[in-house]
Amino acid sequence: MSTNAPMPNQPGGGNGKREVGQAHVLVETNLKFNPALNSILEKAFKQGVEQHAHTHGVHYDHNLVYGKTERIGHKFAMGYKILGADCEELEKFISTGKKQTDLIGTVLAMCNGNLMVL
């Protein structure tokens, strides 16, 4: 869920490129939180995100994206920490992903200090 934009500390950063940084994303699903199924749901969710990235030409680096199961009330959720995130690309990525499934509810993303509710 990052792009090929240079990292802030790499050469080329600040040459008119969009700012990249760190993002925290919380994806609420419409699925019930179930400890017996959560590992399966997490794996399926991660695969779906990777497929969405591949389909839309978004660079997905496993060394920069950390995902884990979360719980919001009685619902299954995924929390992500993303290093090297381009906030505009992240917003577009989340918005297009939400349109492709009815399993995702509210998505909260904090990117470079800016809150996005999608």
| 13: in domain | no
pLDDT of residue 16: 53
Q: What is the number of domains present in the chain?
A: 1
- Domain of 88, CATH number, reads 3.30.70.260
| 11: in domain | no
| 7: in domain | no
CA distances from 26 to 69, 76, 117 (A): 10, 11, 10
- pLDDT at residue 97 is higher than 60: yes
| 9: in domain | no
Summarize pLDDT for 45-86 with one digit per residue, the tens.
999 999 999 999 988 898 999 999 999 999 999 999 999 999
Confidence of residue 17 (pLDDT cuts 50, 70, 90): low
| 6: in domain | no
pLDDT of residue 18: 65
Confidence of residue 21 (pLDDT cuts 50, 70, 90): confident
If you write DSSP's letter for every residue of 48-113 in order, what string do you get?
A: HHHHHHHHTT----TTTEEEEEEEETTEEEEEEEEEEEEHHHHHHHHHHHHHT-SSEEEEEEEETT
Range of the domain at 81: 20-117
| 4: in domain | no
